[in-house]
């Protein structure tokens, strides 16, 4: 840790250690931890965006079909899928009958 004086104030923010919400990394380990957290959050965001895109596509198809008299939309499988691998992908097959 980098503290500038005997009182234990942070050399970056000047705040005592117990109240320190400094935005600077105080060690290479802390910097590595911050990078890991950013990477993890970005991965979660990408997964969330992919899930939202799939939901949006299904909603667009069903809205389109609701405007066509007598149209019915079915899907081969469950619309709710939980993938555990980072490189996994999933495909839905929709059928539209008029």
Average pLDDT across each block of 10 residues of the chain; the chain has 98 residues. List them in order.
61 71 74 88 83 71 73 79 80 82
**Entry pTM:** 0.40
What is the pLDDT at residue 27?
A: 75
What is the structure's pLDDT at 60?
74
CB 38 within 8 A of CB 73: no
Rounded CA-CA distance 92/50 in Å is 13
Give the pLDDT confidence score for residue 20 in this predicted structure.
65
């Amino acid at each position: 840790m980098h503290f500038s004086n005997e009182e234990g104030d942070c050399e970056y923010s000047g705040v005592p250690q117990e109240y320190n919400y400094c935005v600077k990394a105080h060690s290479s380990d802390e910097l590595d931890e911050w990078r890991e957290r950013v990477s993890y959050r970005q991965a979660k965001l990408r997964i969330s965006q992919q899930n939202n895109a799939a939901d949006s596509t299904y909603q667009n198809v069903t809205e389109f079909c609701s405007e066509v008299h007598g149209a019915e939309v079915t899907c081969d499988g469950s619309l709710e899928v939980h993938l555990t691998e980072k490189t996994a992908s999933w495909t839905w097959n929709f059928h539209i009958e008029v």
